[in-house]
Structure 1
Amino acid sequence: MAKPPYDVPAAPGKPEVTEYDENFMVITWTPPASDGGSPVTHYIIEKKEPRSSKWTQVTKEEVKETTFKVTDLIEGKDYEFHVAAVNKAGQGPFSAPSEPKTAKLPFDPPSAPGKPTVSNIDATEMTITWTVPESDGGSPILGYFVEKKEPKSSRWVRINSTPVEPLTFKVKDLVEKSKYHFRVIATNKAGEGPASEPSDVHMAKPPYDIPGAPSRPEVTEYDRTKISIKWSPPESDGGSPITGYVVEKRDTTSNRWIKAVPETVEETTLTIENLTEDKEYEFRVAAVNKAGQGPYSEPSQPQLCKPPYDVPEAPGKPDITEVDAEYMVITWTKPKSDGGSPITHYVVERKEPTSTRWMKAHKEDVKELTLKVEGLMEGKEYMFHVAAVNDAGQGPYSEPSEPKLAKLPYDVPGAPSKPEISDIDATKMTVTWTPPKSDGGAPITGYYVERKESSSSRWTRITKEPVLDTTLRAKDLIEKSKYQFRVFAENKAGVGPASEPSDLTMAKLPYERPEVTKVDATLIGIKWSPPASDGGSPITGYVIEKKDRTSTRWTKAFKDTIEETEYTIKDLIEGKEYEFRVAAVNNAGQGPFSEPSQPTLCKPPYGKR
């Protein structure tokens, strides 16, 4: 069937609400991407509520533009809109629906103002201050309402019937000594917004209070019948200047406080007279201002009525700074307080740690802060304590010193390091070690070296005299025996502990026996490894000797030296067993021979005819 050369238009763009009020919305959209080949003649607009599935046409008129004002909406309801384009071919598909929008005034009530602060507090008045809300809801703020509430009540009471414009408000007619919270509500054309966070609680009272407590009184002077004290004003004067201080005293044997002087004191010092000698007193102070007397301070430290000095405090704990077999030198520091009278001398006592009895360590008065205590017994431990003396008498003893042993001022050395073994031969080895970490306080005078065979538990000293160096060539060893070595250091105090034993090491020639590599009826091939040490000069060749196993006589297997470490010995006798040994040669000459090879029979190889 033939059809027109055009089609219905595509869907227009998704509508957008660009203006709204409580009973209308203005929507706009974009034309369809395709008009289907025929110009769009008009648009059809439908609306619905988001929870409904039913769309209704908003107007019967043909809408020619891409904007339209939808009227007769119900305030407070949400609406969605979609649009379809129409051309000669008919109505095209509807657009995607607009986002839901509420029919309402184009602004909201304001947000909450800032938390109110309270100032200028008096017995019946307070001033409340706040900050503007973060949002005015889209409409200018018309003013603020202030409400109050007592902490024990849940009911907020509005203070002003008409909104106030300033950000401050003086609240009057409060009840003295009552406590209050305050909150603020902003209003605009849309109505009242939420209340602010309540203010901190404040009491309606005069703008000053009784002062705080002064500092604890401090005794500055004393004598047989009077004591002087001083104190600091309270941290807070309560908002009204301090006019004076009330001072009370108490005998420490009594619970009763009485006035120290009949009148208030204007200064922060006072001398209390007519006290009783040898009685102990405490003092306390209260500040006074227009609001009345504040709380009392803490009592002073008890003070005895007595002459103005005391025995000294204890000196510092003594240190033992020098030790010998029969004496020790001790030092100490002065007491923190001399009691108000100069120190004349010190008393030093000593005791052994296992004893409870202290005895005087000197005959003469000790004037200095150091003393050499003589007549001690070597090998015994001693402790010391010290007391200071002034015109009031002897003070308490110091903390005792740490115990110290009467002995020579040095110890035996520590253990040397674990010995290292080198330059091994059939009957000799070189033993090397490092000095101990501690020489015990006296120079090391030498070392003793001991050895032990692996089959024995007995250590044998190698030298009678101490070794002065940290290396020793151990001789007269038994070939093929295994040995360990250990070392002791010696100083003026004696011989210290043994080092860790060396690793177990075999006394053997410095290179391995030759190895047979091939055998025939009249020849034998051998190879060997170079010696562990070239003696400090490059090896220039090797001497090879052979012997018939039944003989004790070695003969050269080749008249010249061999440069390689393998060789085939020829012209041997079939059926005889042979051993071979090798010696290395350098510029110093020929070294010792290796161990002999395993005996080897001259015979044709297995299977050869």
Structure 2
Amino acid sequence: MIENVNRNDTGKYVLIAENCSGSKSAFINVKVLDSPSVPTNLEVKDVKRDSVSISWEAPLIDGGAKISHYIIEKREEARKAFTSVSSSCVRNSYKIDNLQEGFFYYFRVLAVNEFGAGLPAETTEAVKVSEAPLPPGKIAISDVTCNSVRLSWEKPDHDGGSKITCYIVEMQAKGDDTWTICSESKALQVTINGLAKGKEYFFRVSALNEKGKSEPKCLLAPVTVKDTSAEPIINLLSNTFSVKAGNDLRIDVPFKGEPKPTVAWKKDGNILKETSRINVHTSDTSSHILIKDTTKIDVGVYELTLSNSAGSTSTEIFVNVFERPGPPSGLSVDEMSADFVCLSWQPPLYTGGTQINNYVVKKRDMGNTIWQTVSATVARTSIKISRLTQGTEYQFCVAAENRYGKSQFAETEPVVAQYPFKPPGLPINLHVVQASKSVMVIAWDKPDSDGGNLLRIDAAISGRPNPTVFWLKNGRNIGTKGRIEITATKTKTSLLIREGVRKDSGQYTLTLQNTGGTTSKVITCKVLDKPGPPAGPLEVSGLSAEKCTLSWGPPHETGGAEIIHYIVEKCETSRVAWTLMYGDMMATTCKITKLLKGNEYLFRVRAVNKYGEGETLESEPTRAMDPFTIPSAPMDVEVTSTTSEAMTICWKRPTSDGGSRISGYIIEKREKQGVRWVRVNKKPVYDLRVKASGLHEGCEYEFRVFAENTAGLSEPSLPSLLTLADDPKFLPSPPAKPIIVDSSRTSITLSWNKPLFDGGALVSILGLSWSSSNLPVKILVYISFK
């Protein structure tokens, strides 16, 4: 009899009966129903960077039932508990994925039948999740001599999960089939010596870690072992050098090349000549120029050329010398009138190596030797100078200015301030048509010259064959209808415009064309008249319920005279009449006030010159409204301290100010039994706290807060909690001077003084404690006072 059987008692039992006549045997197969035993031959088959494949064989004892499946578990080396990977594997192998690269793991397998899971089979050693590394990266030849080659390469994209211990370098002579290990290196480069001069070699590099060697990375082309030459290389970080005039300039240019290259310097295409100021020095690795006491003649393009047997290279270097600029060029008088002149010019040919900041313009009348400054901050290359005296002869000059100083002045020829037209001529052929005793009728003819009302442009022309005449205005053909008449002969052409108006101003171009070529002449014409409308649009900005700002541009057509001022008007769209706001506005922007909130307005502007008021520029309808709203309500209103007569209230800012800065806060209070809210502060407060005084002792109060901005008061905040107006209470100080007045065997009479501080309330209970020398326990008694 076998007691407490287990799965190990399963097997074949043999019974042998034996006596003097012989023996007899019989066998019995015993199957104990239990969970399976340990799976056998658990092996790690394959290890990758993030997975491990394992295999095993079925348990020797299946527990008397068919193995239904297997449970696979894993455990990191640093942990004690196994975690399940799969609980339904029906094969004798499994690939465990999603492992951490470089970590160590234990694995185990349990067989399962209908009676449960059996004993586990576990790997005896931890398995590191890694693999052989990838091949190294790009291989490069960094140096070749007659007996050595220096190789360099990049790290593999992945080390397989284990640290790369070294790199194995192999070589193969061209025509040979055998690869030979020539070096092992922990660095990413190696120099291979002892090679045969003139022979060609192939090289390859493999990475090695604890899992093995990677695939080799081969150099694609063979390397010939010989002394090499390298084309010159210029290592110049910047090709622009700047220096202040009078200082020394040193230009250093490092280079490489094998053999040493020859050096040639040029300036502006010419060979650079060495002088006492300019010196050139060249070493094996660099060349530099030293220029002493630099001036503007040193400005230019310097060219360095390097040459050797491998080739040549060159680079350009730009040198700037900072100093005062040269004078402006092409200064001319573009337009002259009785009270103004228009000048224009071109920037200096030499700017001093830096940007021109502004121009200085001066004038003087020919009867005075002192120059007067018209403007020292002219940013453009033109200016209009006003307030000249008619008939006076003037001279003008312009200088350019940069950060290093002011140039010499360029001057104009003397010019006289006068209109470009003249008074009309005398009427002609004055005669008496009829005469009587009391009446005489006279008649006359128009003068030969109207002084400018009739625009006439005459030009003498010539050419063979006779040229074709074209007249253009502002780049467009001129028609010959109405007021315009064009005539042309072989030697003369004329453009006649009767009753000139402002729109006749502009540039007129006379073009002559024949088979020999084309020529043109530009004539500028200005018609004196009232100005055109200001340049639009008329913009309305800074709009609020009470005011706005208008802005516009000067008229494109000034009528040939200076704009004296502008007239600004407004009109409500619900009305017809216009209201004058400004009758002499000098600027092109103005502020309009006293608007009515919610009303819609139109605005208009017109320019005025000495010939009268021009055409108007009108705005789009605009409604006077504030661009902001009331703020949101303050938050978290609470009472932070109380007395019998006052309380301190605090709150937080609103989440939104409505687009306008909060100007203050209004606080209101209400008693518990009251209905009306009463203001605490007469004027808005700016802090986030206020003290409410004048309260009644014993009453309960609640408070609420409003925020105020330009648009008005916000909604009220949520009220604070009801708070009692009462002085705060504190613990009293101890009684003073306790003494024993009388004593007996069973009693003691004590006396003491009142506490110096009662804590803000009447002392109603007194605690009395004592202890006996025989009893370590202290006895405490409270005495009440009524």
Fold agreement, TM-score > 0.5: no
Higher relative contact order at CA 8 Å, sep ≥6: structure 1 or structure 2?
A: 1
- The two structures have a TM-score, normalised by structure 1, of 0.34
Structure (1 or 2) with the greater strand fraction: 2
Give TM-score, length-normalised by structure 2.
0.28
